Amino acid sequence: MCGIVALVGSREASPILLEGLKKLEYRGYDSAGLATISTKGSSDRGFITCKKAKGKLVNLLNLLSKDGAPGNIGIGHTRWATHGKPEVRNAHPHLDSSDQVAVVQNGIIENYTLLREKLQKQGIRFVSDTDTEVIPHLISEALTRLKQEGVASKGEMLFLAVREVLNLLQGSYALAVIWTETPDVLIVAKNKAPLLIGFTQGEFLCASDSTAFAGFTKTVLPLEDKELALLTPLGVEIYDSEGKRQYRKPSLIVGSEKNIDKGQFRHFMLKEIYEQPETAEQWIARFLPDKLPTSSPIAFPFKDSLYDSIEAVQILACGTSRHAAMVGAYLLEQFSGLPSTVFFASEFRYAPPPLAPNILTIGVTQSGETADTLAALMMESERRSTLKDDLFSSRVLGITNRIESSLARQVTNIIDIGAGLEVGVAATKTFLGQLLAFYGLAIMIAARNKNRSIQEINDICEELKLVPNYLRDLINNHNKLTEKLAYQFVNTKDVIFLGRGINYPIALEAALKLKEISYIHAEGLPAGEMKHGPIALLDHKVPVISIATHGVVFEKVLSNAQEAKARNACLIGIAPESAETQIFDHLLPIPKVSEWISPLLTVIPLQLLSYHIAAQRGLDVDQPRNLAKSVTVE
């Protein structure tokens, strides 16, 4: 989703802005732009150079290599279209009518239509279809008035103008503003969209997420909602919406600053699929070390209050994270004996269930920035506080891959899945990390509640320790197998994935993976539901991919697969090799493991198959059209 970078300092801004934008590319975007202010040839007033290009960053780079964008201050943006098509005129930065104020924004200004109409009545001509364009015009209008009122300094004038305009905006935003009359002042602000300030000596970089700071600084301060910051080469001042100065220390970004590169792989997605054994290995080393007490077999750092007297679990998530949550809910119910419900975070926000006591609420988001998930958690916290549910804050848990994210600041109890930065828009290793987090939680709760015997707890823990090796073998064996199989499906239009029980969410996840990177229509179904309608879709052109692992529904899934075969569907099995699984036209074999841990393995051939189909279709696997890695708007 949109990425912001903004710089004030003493070096040429545009190369640093471009570098920052490059590091935010993985978030997903369809146009890019930047604006700088230079004072060359004039003493106190500068001029804005604004460059924008449709498509990839390289187009902006080409524009800049011709004409450049001089100045030590600037704002940059990668845009993921919401209001208005991905065209140059809709790309950010947006300027006021006199080209004196430039703004980049990430979020949605919900009342922009009213604001736009008002400005149009005053004679303002809009050049874009965006919600953002109202902002520079409103700031410009406020500046004109403040000038007449004779506010002391220009910097203060810009600060007051932005603050005034923010009070008019409804919705979510992170934004950065520059003005030609203050060529060394950068104003940034945020509300319900992320924005961080990175500090070095005499130079400050603001960005939508911490990846943009790699190579620049590790000292970072996240802005809180409704805060504004005034940055000059001399320092940073932070204020709340009332104009009260805020004092907070920046902190160090944890973790090593790894280079974002694909290594020997053609795409990040394939690299990240290959990183999954390591993700599992590290998870086991952190949370499942040997010799933990049987009453507390997982090394989670949480207080007893997180688990005590919990009667049910509700999980809020979107997309792939929701699929991980569904496996989690299955484990929490079937293994740990706790009623568990998964909600689309976006639905929960406006239709939550009636409040019930003693609920553990879990928010799952790999990016830690998904607006719907954060807002759903916030809403839940607010409605529980009205009921004086004092235990809510200790009974809320976040599962994320980004420990420096908004989720990690919003929620005290965090499971950091520690999968390392995932660049491919299609989640793979973070999905595995989320699954593992749920295994840990389910085992912990089952042990504490004595819902499972010591033997059962030990068995699942021991089996989990074998997962990295299983994954290694699976990935090595299936990469070639799936690459070969993918050729057959390059021109396929529809695919059906079937799963049951704990593997039903894996069927959903497989369908999502295939859709998002190959643009092939795919549906994931509980295998038993096929005969209630979807079976009408089947013919020889629709492959059916069926997940059949040993356990309570093994034979049932095979019968459902037979029903598809009888309709001439090409049948692919994700199943252990056995006499029964010979019914499949193609088998992607998985080892014989307990049904409990099977989702950790069944997902692998499905990720690889989607990857190879998309790659063979020649598509942009890592940055599929229309998608964003971090969905920071509602």
Residues that bind ligand AGP (CB under 6 A): 318-321, 365-367, 370, 373, 425-427, 516, 627, 631
Q: Closer to ligand AGP at the Cβ: 102 or 631?
A: 631
* Distance of closest approach, residue 368 Cβ to ligand AGP, in angstroms: 7
Instruction: Provide Rg for the chain, Cα atoms.
Output: 26
**What does the block give as tokens for 6?**
């903004």
State the angle between helix axes of 599-616 and 504-518 in degrees (0 to 180), rounded to the nearest 10: 20
Q: Least distance in Å: CB of 361 to ligand AGP?
A: 15
User: Computed from CA positions of residues 433, 26, 249, 176, in that sequence, does the dihedral angle turn out positive or negative?
Assistant: negative
Whichever of 49 and 365 has its CB closer to ligand AGP, that residue is 365
CA distance 108 to 408: 23
Q: How far apart, in whole angstroms, are the C-alpha atoms of residue 294 and residue 462? A: 13
Taking the complex as a whole, the smallest distance from the CB of residue 517 to ligand AGP amounts, in Å, to 8
Beta carbons of 402 and 436 less than 8 angstroms apart: no
629 noted as active-site residue: yes
Catalytic residue, from 218, 513, 515, 629: name it.
629
Residues 200, 222: Cα–Cα separation, whole Å: 15
Of 93 and 222, nearer to ligand AGP (C-beta) is: 222
Given the residues 2, 50, 318, 570, the one annotated as active site:
2
The H-or-E segment that residue 21 falls in is helix 13-24
Residue 402, SS3? coil
CA angle at 250 for the pair 245 and 254, rounded to the nearest 5°: 155
Residue 223 is classified by DSSP as P
> In the 8-state DSSP scheme, what is residue 90?
G
Residue 365 is encoded by which pair of tokens?
């988001």
Tokens of 575: 């199943």
The least CB distance from residue 603 to ligand AGP, in Å, is 12
Residue 213 burial by Cβ neighbours in a 10 Å radius (0-12, 13-18, 19+): buried
CB nearer ligand AGP, residue 90 or residue 370: 370
> Which C-beta is closer to ligand AGP: that of 25 or that of 516?
516
Minimum distance, C-beta of residue 471 to ligand AGP, in the bound complex (Å): 18
Q: Which C-beta is closer to ligand AGP: that of 74 or that of 368?
A: 368
Residue whose CB is less far from ligand AGP, 368 or 576: 368
Which structure tokens are listed for 148?
A: 């007449």
Query: Which residue reads 């990839």 in tokens?
Result: 56
| Shortest distance, position 376 Cβ to ligand AGP, whole Å | 11
- The span from the CA of 358 to the CA of 361, in Å, is 10
**In angstroms, what is the minimal distance from the CB of 109 to ligand AGP?**
22
By beta-carbon distance, which residue lies closest to ligand AGP?
A: 319
Which CB atom, from 90 or from 346, has the smaller least distance to ligand AGP?
346
Q: Minimum distance from CB of 54 to ligand AGP (Å)?
A: 23
318 as an active site residue: the answer is: no
CB of 369 to ligand AGP, least distance (A): 7
Number of Cβ within a 10 Å radius of residue 347: 13
**CA distances in angstroms from 234 to 202, 237, 404, 559, listed in the order given:** 6, 10, 26, 71
DSSP H helix total and E strand total for the chain: 16, 25
Helix segments in 487-598, DSSP class H: 504-518, 554-565
The amino acid at 191: N
- List, in order, residues 6 or more apart from 3 with CB less than 8 Å away: 21, 24, 25, 27, 29, 77, 78, 106, 207, 208, 209, 212
CB nearer to ligand AGP: pick between 366 and 413: 366
CA 139 to chain centre: 31
Candidates 7, 54, 63, 11; CA nearest to 29 is 54
Give me the active site residues, please.
2, 629
